[in-house]
Chain A
Amino acid sequence: RKEVEQDPGPFNVPEGATVAFNCTYSNSASQSFFWYRQDCRKEPKLLMSVYSSGNEDGRFTAQLNRASQYISLLIRDSKLSDSATYLCVVNINTQAGTALIFGKGTTLSVSS
């Protein structure tokens, strides 16, 4: 089983739509969770962290369910500029330190 699995894409939605991405992770010891965004042929950039209580940043809402090892990202009122690949990211901890593991990514295409 992969450490981080995401919905297969692509998601093609019209402007103004609400879209949700799901992600599951296999390491129950993971403590930190994030969504990164990667534009075409660009480097990934942090979109938002995901907290246990759920958190919102403008049109973006992230949820975490530790019992189910499930993470979600909801985008409301989609804009053309939201078109990108969204990467689910979890940390892995060992005695040596911590590192971030990325999912395969889900591609979103917003059209007018």
Chain B
Amino acid sequence: DAGVTQSPTHLIKTRGQQVTLRCSPKSGHDTVSWYQQALGQGPQFIFQYYEEEERQRGNFPDRFSGHQFPNYSSELNVNALLLGDSALYLCASSKSSGSYYTGELFFGEGSRLTVL
């Protein structure tokens, strides 16, 4: 049973460029959350997708956008890259279970983005 997979694992971009990161959730999971983790910091919540819609959003600008596909996979897009966008981008999947939340997010290994 494959866990959460992310691609690419590493990438380098220059300021002003755009990037797309991809995530396939764990089998049986329908909810995907994206996090940004800067060096020495905890993961910062970007947004969450469920049923192909953005359900929750953290304090990130509109340059950060996403998409969820019918097979539950997801993409994170970042436009007009800034130096400060350099970070590890983590995708986490979970299974929606109504009001009861088990708290177990399964994370991928992340995509490490460097902006020069």
Residues of A within 8 A of B (CB): 4, 6, 31-34, 42-46, 49, 87, 89, 91-92, 94, 96-105
**Which DSSP category, helix, strand, loop or mixed, fits chain A's interface?**
strand
Nearest-CB residue, chain A, relative to B33:
A99
Q: How far is the CB of B21 from chain A (nearest CB, A)?
A: 14
Q: Is the CB of A43 within 8 A of B109?
A: yes
Q: How far is the CB of B38 from chain A (nearest CB, A)?
A: 10
Q: How far is the CB of A75 from chain B (nearest CB, A)?
A: 19
Which of A32, A42, A46, A105 sits near B101, CB closer than 8 Å?
Answer: A32
Q: Is the CB of A89 within 8 A of B56?
A: no
Residues of A within 8 A of B108 (CB): 43
The segment from B12-20, B40-48, B69-77 found at the interface with A is B40-48
Residues of B within 8 A of A42 (CB): 109
Which of B40, B45, B58, B103 sits near A49, CB closer than 8 Å?
Answer: B103
Chain A to chain B contacts (Cβ below 8 Å), 13 pairs: A6-B42, A42-B109, A44-B43, A46-B103, A49-B103, A87-B42, A91-B101, A91-B103, A96-B55, A97-B50, A97-B96, A100-B45, A105-B42
Q: A43-B110, A94-B56 are in contact. Are A100 and B105 (CB under 8 A)?
A: yes
Contact with A along B17-47 (1 / 0, CB 8 A): 0000000000000000101000011111100
A14 to B5, CA, bound (A): 36
Residues of B within 8 A of A92 (CB): 56
Contacting residues of chain B (81-116) with chain A, CB-CB under 8 angstroms = 90, 96, 101-105, 107-110
Q: Is the CB of A101 within 8 A of B45?
A: yes
A99 to B103, CA, bound (A): 9
Residues of A within 8 A of B41 (CB): 104-105
* Given A97-B48, A103-B42, 16 new contacts (CB under 8 A): A6-B42, A31-B101, A32-B101, A43-B108, A46-B103, A46-B104, A49-B102, A87-B43, A91-B101, A92-B56, A97-B96, A99-B33, A99-B45, A99-B48, A102-B42, A102-B45
